């Protein structure tokens, strides 16, 4: 798919054109001046591509025409592309032009380079504080990115079993994968509300039956293996 970068989607009908909160997604359109979200395609940016294609660290991509390859499907409940496997500038090139003289200028931590002490702490905070709160429904899509099988972009890898399974087989049936809170909900008191209950730092794909067997058991050093 070819289009002009017109911003970063942050919700179904919201695309920001500056002050980009992270490098997780971008929006493309037929025209670089397009502002109507109904005329845009939302593109998911997997972690391996964020340093070079995320708008937070590469705002110079705004208005550039790019080619993206992936699966056309709903993203942010909007026409989009997920499981993106390739990005390129239209007309050739796999990376955007460098934004400065340092080879680190396009990396996630670029604003912190060369700083120390209070300035470093402040810079690191500014980098990581632009996170987005997901709904529990949106976690399904997030896990397809965070736990994608590196050997099969159509699959995720389940946490405890290590099984590679199709991203489309998510749900509640015995052989499906579902959303496993590594730290049990009942021990955290956070349920599935946006925030702690949907934090993908501790939500992982897992086989429904294995997840049921785990229940809310704690982790321990030693003990007997569960088959």
pLDDT digit string, tens, across residues 173-187: 989 999 999 998 888
**Mean per-residue pLDDT for 16-29?**
94
Above 90 in pLDDT, residue 196? no
- Mean residue pLDDT of the chain comes to 88
Mean pLDDT of 83-92: 85
Q: State the pLDDT at residue 94.
A: 47
Encode pLDDT of 128-174 as tens digits: 887 788 999 999 999 999 999 999 999 999 998 899 999 999 999 98
Task: Decide if 157 is inside a domain.
Answer: yes
- E strand map for the chain: 2-11, 14-16, 25-29, 41-44, 65-75, 78-89, 148-149, 152-157, 164-166, 177-181, 203-207
Question: SS3 of 142, please?
Answer: helix
Same domain for 12 and 86, yes or no, is yes
| Of 83, 88, 68, the residue nearest 27 (C-alpha) | 68
pLDDT at 99 over 50: no
Pairing of strands 152-157, 148-149: antiparallel
Residue 71 has pLDDT above 80, yes or no: yes
Closest CA to 29 of 66, 78, 57, 55: 66
| Cβ 73 vs Cβ 98: under 8 Å | no
Q: Distance between CA atoms of 92 and 72, rounded to whole angstroms?
A: 22
Q: Is residue 180 part of a domain?
A: yes
Same domain, 85 and 153: no
The reply to whether 129 falls in a domain is no
Residue 83 belongs to a domain:
yes
Could you tell me which residue, 94 or 80, shows the higher pLDDT? 80
Q: What is the pLDDT of residues 47-67, one digit of tens each?
A: 888 988 999 999 989 999 999
d(CA 35, CA 51): 25
pLDDT for the residue 106: 57
> Phi and psi at residue 204, in whole multiples of 5°?
-135, 155
Query: Does residue 227 sit within a domain?
Result: no
> Assign residue 145 a region: left if phi > 0, alpha if psi is -120 to 50, beta otherwise?
alpha
Entry pTM: 0.48
Number of domains in the chain: 2
Question: What's the confidence (pLDDT) of residue 224?
Answer: 75
Neighbours of 52 (CB within 10 A): 17
Share of the chain above pLDDT 90, in %: 59
Q: Residue 227's pLDDT is what?
A: 66
Say yes or no: 148 and 210 in one domain. yes
Residue pointed to by tokens 């349920």:
191
pLDDT at residue 80 greater than cutoff 90: yes
Residue 133 lies in a domain: no
Does residue 189 surpass a pLDDT of 80? Answer: yes
In a domain? residue 91: yes
Neighbours of 58 (CB within 10 A): 26
The tokens of 122 are what?
């402040």
- Alpha helices by DSSP H, listed for the chain, are 50-53, 117-128, 139-146, 185-188, 208-214
Q: Which domain holds residue 34?
A: 2-96
Helix (H) or strand (E) holding 89: strand 78-89
Check residue 101 and give its pLDDT.
41
Residue 92 has pLDDT above 70, yes or no: no
pLDDT of residue 97: 44
Structure confidence at residue 91 as a pLDDT band (50, 70, 90): confident
Query: SS3 of 121, please?
Result: helix
Residues 88 and 143 occupy one common structural domain: no
Q: Does the residue 130 lie in any domain? A: no
Per-residue pLDDT at 98 exceeds 60: no
Residues 33 and 86 in one domain: yes
């Amino acid at each position: 798919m070819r289009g002009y970068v017109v911003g970063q989607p942050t919700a179904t009908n919201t695309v920001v054109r500056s002050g980009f909160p992270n490098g997780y997604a971008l929006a493309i359109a037929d025209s670089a001046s397009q502002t109507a979200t109904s005329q845009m395609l939302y593109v998911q940016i997997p972690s391996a591509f964020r340093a070079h294609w995320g708008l937070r660290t590469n705002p110079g991509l705004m208005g550039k025409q790019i080619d993206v390859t992936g699966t056309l499907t709903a993203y942010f409940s909007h026409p989009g592309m997920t499981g993106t496997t390739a990005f390129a500038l239209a007309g050739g090139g796999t990376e955007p032009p460098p934004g400065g003289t340092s080879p680190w200028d396009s990396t996630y931590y670029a604003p912190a380079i060369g700083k120390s002490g209070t300035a470093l702490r402040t810079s690191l905070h500014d980098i990581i504080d632009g996170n987005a709160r997901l709904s529990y429904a949106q976690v399904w899509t997030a896990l397809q990115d965070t736990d994608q099988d590196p050997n099969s972009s159509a699959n995720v890898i389940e946490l405890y079993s290590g099984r590679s399974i199709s991203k489309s087989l998510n749900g509640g049936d015995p052989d499906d994968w579902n959303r496993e809170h590594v730290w049990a909900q009942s021990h955290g008191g956070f349920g599935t509300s946006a925030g702690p209950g949907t934090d993908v730092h501790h939500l992982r794909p897992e086989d429904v039956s294995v997840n049921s067997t785990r229940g809310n058991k704690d982790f321990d050093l030693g003990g007997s293996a569960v088959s």
